[in-house]
Structure 1
Amino acid sequence: MSDESTSDESTQAIHGVIGLGAMGMGIARSLLDGGLPVIGCDLAADARVAFADAGGRVHSSPLALAEECSVILLVVVNAHQVETVLFGDEGRGGLAERLAPGSLVIQCATVAPAYAEALGERLDAMGLVLLDAPISGGAARAACGQLSVMASGRPEAFAMAEPALEAMAGTVHRLGDAPGAGSSVKLVNQHLAGVHIAAAAEAMALGIRMGIDPERLYEVITQSAGNSWMFENRVPHILEGDYTPLSAVDIFVKDLNLVHDTGRDLRLAMPVAASALQQFTAASGMGLGREDDAAVIKVYAATAGLDLPAANDTHLDREGEE
């Protein structure tokens, strides 16, 4: 390594990625591929080993990142995990109080817009900067640095986040100068994603019930006006009989509940989203919460006596979506 490259690295902010799941691992590796110094953090030892094998540094505790990182990316599941990482639980302090003043937190989880707004105010009072930056595009796009990022925050937040965003995103939507707008747009995306998955499952159940060959049905619909990104992406999981989770049923129980709660607060009735939520809740109640979200079709199989395609050894390329 030349002296020049060593000098360049020494002036770059060290990025800490908390959450090395399907999306977080892709983001962390994209940052590495972009030449950024990265430390990954996850409670799961196998995730830490995988990132270390890819050339990254790792810690098992988020608190350990505070000593080195000035940019933190939170790629966790929900607001509770965001809260625990940043502020601790059961009287124990969190990462936020240990970060150096002026550090940036890039919050990528799907959370309620009101929570994102309040989080920005809390971090600002602690001398920290928040970029509200939910992500979309799935594990495959995360792995190749082509995510869609729905971001809002102060101009200095975008400036500090620019190297990370350039490495991890194909498109960055700048949606406002305060946290909350990014999460609002992500909630609309999750409304549509959840409804489309539930609709795809119901449509496939209808076709199977009528005796249509599922493979042939998929071929026709993906070339017709009734197609959707979610139909095209999720139905292959059903055709393969493979419900290995890339995005789990319980993710949409969480996200569509956020949609429902936000609509209630706004006095906006959303019966279509409510219907989709009931189907995902039923699937979770059947014990399918940790299966791929396409497993919502098993609700129809259970209630209508459908025979779904069985698992086979021919797997298509699969790209999940959170």
Structure 2
Amino acid sequence: GRPQEFARAAPHALRSLLITMQMLAKNTDYDVSMESTHHGPTNLDIPSVYAEIGSDEPQWEDYVPGEIVANAIMSLDLGEVPVALGFGGGHYAPRQSKLLFETDITFGHNFPSYQLPHINKEMIKVAFEKSDADFVYFDRKSMSARERERIGKIVEELGYEVLREGDIREMNGIPWEFCKQVRSKADEFCPGGRAKLTNSMKSEIKMLNLPCRGCNCPKVKAAKIDRELLQEAETVDKDRVRAFLDSHNIAYLERSNGTIAHVIFSIDDECARAVVQDLTNECIKILKGQYEIEYIPDENILYIIDNKFNPELARELGVPSGPMFGELASGKSVTVNENTITPEMVYQSNRKAITLTNTINF
């Protein structure tokens, strides 16, 4: 082939061949793997892919791999799945192969790590076109930070995005057009955040039996919960908040620091609003278990009252530092010089007001 040119890839044929060969080679001594782009011909106008037997004459003369490759070719299935443009790895691409085998994606062209310094914007643009790719995957551990940053910037300039392995596994089995919608909404409300589709939502989308690419997917609807209320509840019991979200037919956003953003997504407006209302009430229940709560309905203001032990107040009443401080802090009374000191006498109340936009059941 000609330098810096690419043949038109056949990503769906590649996926079919690899999956079938892996299945047929299960009880043999042969491994099955994807290779990175490394030779031509580059002037073919139709999509092409190699199915090779490695790596020397004994293997070429062995009828077992020959039969496996032949059967894989004869049973070719061109069912469409999202296509990634790959970067990183060596001559073989083990991480990309693993993703292809374990998720509903495939790969077009893949550039090994040793070729990355020679890859420029125009080549990446052509590779997208020749692969009909939807997004990019980096084998991050095999790439330098400098190359990840450089290529990532080019990918963004071309209007595509880099998906991590977790992102790919999260969207497994979900139509790509729907995933793009959710990811776009996530970036709108929480740049850098990650959308988490609950199992219920995944099941609902899969039941629609939509094609992986090019489908007219249902529109994603967004609804917001009060940001401060969610933050306070998450501080008290993050696991309970997450368990509530995971039990509903929605998607929610997780920030890069692991906290939950104040937006939820659904494919139904009414469902989105109902979940936000229920989540609001769940947050109130969580806070009631930790704090004293006051609610002013006319103003829709919630007061969180945190009563904390104040050592200075205790000292002023003659309580010595030590075990008695612990008793008072745990809500027990103590006796000092025949005087009973109750927790209420040494507690200080801190009030925090949250103005709500959603109504609550109180």
The TM-score with structure 1 as length reference comes to 0.26
Higher relative contact order (CA 8 A, sep 6+): 1
Larger Rg: 1 or 2? 2
Structure richer in strand, relative to its length: 2
> If the length of structure 2 is used for normalisation, what is the TM-score?
0.24
